[in-house]
Structure 1
Amino acid sequence: MSQLTVDFQKVYEGEGVPDKPGFQAWAERAWRGAAPSEVTIRIVGIEESQALNLQYRGKDRPTNVLSFPFEAPAGIKLPLAGDLVICAPVVEKEAQEQHKEPVAHWAHMVIHGMLHLQGYDHINDEDAEVMESLEIQLLAQLGFANPYEAEETEKDS
């Protein structure tokens, strides 16, 4: 596993956000790159998340995590993975609605976002299966349960 530096920016003033060491550990676990790199993880509130989601995805609502992979200009090499913007109120609400431990959901959002920064996606079923399997594996290595089991159980009921 290579060295990953996390630039942690907490601009959200509310409660419930884990400490930086958790974010560092989760991001490192998800980093698949062979070379050292850096990621910025920014914890925001509803307004900033909604504004960014509208600007970059055309969706006028806040979302749990936005991933912005760094794209260097041609000929320029910088060790930057990109940025993750995580909306604390959305993560907390989802954890409650999905009956998950908040820290487990935070870890899932960081891992999910980190995989997006590295080119994984869930647009089609095949890609979603690959990404979700990797998320489950990485979360298990950190001692967290399968984040999709609770959702599947709720869908069945």
Structure 2
Amino acid sequence: MEPPSTCPPDLDGPTIDIVVADPGWHRLIPNAGTIVRRAAHAAGMEGTIVLSSNRVVRGLNGRHRGKNKPTNVLTYEHPAPEIILALGVVRAEAAAQGRRPAHHLAHLVVHGALHLNGEDHDHPGDARRMEMAESRILHRIGVPNPWKRA
């Protein structure tokens, strides 16, 4: 098994550390580090983003949320802001939605960053506000609105 790779550090703006824990991300989205960094900066996030596997995310989701299955994105506020994404789930969702994996990745990074900023989607009004914020941020980085139906 290869050790996780890291992307070069930020030179200006908020500090974003990117860890590619599953090398499959490089095959799915060769410029994943750049996409993640742009999305995180656009959302005003500072912290760590881990591009991981379904197996790791399933374990974390089971341990911390009581759900023994992988999910697309997990966010943690403590001890430091962190977003963890599951490669297989992201790949499958992008395919099912007919979206580019890179666009779906950017969307999920923005989604996670908004969660870290206190946004949530538990109620319809909250969900709509969060969707609108996501689409505004994604528009700024040239990613199509994920909520707009063709």
Alignment of 1:67-106 (within 5 A): 67-70=75-78, 80=80, 82-106=81-105
Please list every run of 5 or more consecutive structure 2 residues that lacks an aligned counterpart in the other structure.
1-11
Distance 2:53 2:78 in 1: 23
Give the alignment partner of residue 53 of structure 1, picking from 61, 70, 87.
61
Q: Match for residue 16 of structure 1?
A: 28
CA-to-partner distance for each residue in 1:86-107, whole Å, 9 max, x for gaps? 0111101100010011111010
Contact 2:90–2:105 (Cα < 8 Å) also in 1: yes
Distance 2:143 2:20 in 1: 24
Q: Return the offset for 1:19.
A: 3.1
Q: Return the offset for 1:125.
A: 0.8
Q: Return the offset for 1:69.
A: 1.3
Q: Match for residue 110 of structure 1?
A: 109
Please list every run of 5 or more consecutive structure 1 residues that lacks an aligned counterpart in the other structure.
33-37, 72-79
* Bigger-Rg structure (1/2): 1
Contact 2:32–2:102 (Cα < 8 Å) also in 1: no
When the two structures are superposed, what TM-score results if normalisation uses the length of structure 1? 0.81
Distance 1:56 1:138 in 2: 29
Q: Residue type matched to 2:122 in 1?
A: I
| % identity of equivalent residues | 33
Contact 1:69–1:118 (Cα < 8 Å) also in 2: no
Distance 2:14 2:33 in 1: 13
Q: Residue type matched to 1:61 in 2?
A: K
CA-to-partner distance for each residue in 1:105-138, whole Å, 9 max, x for gaps? 0100100000001100001111111111000111
Helix, strand or coil for the counterpart of 2:28? Answer: coil
Q: Residue type matched to 2:73 in 1?
A: V
Q: Match for residue 131 of structure 2?
A: 132
Q: Return the offset for 1:21.
A: 2.0
Q: Give the number of equivalent residue pairs.
A: 136
Q: Residue type matched to 1:19 in 2?
A: A
Distance 2:38 2:91 in 1: 20
Q: What's the RMSD between the two structures over aligned residues? A: 1.6
- Is 1:43 matched up with 2:42? no
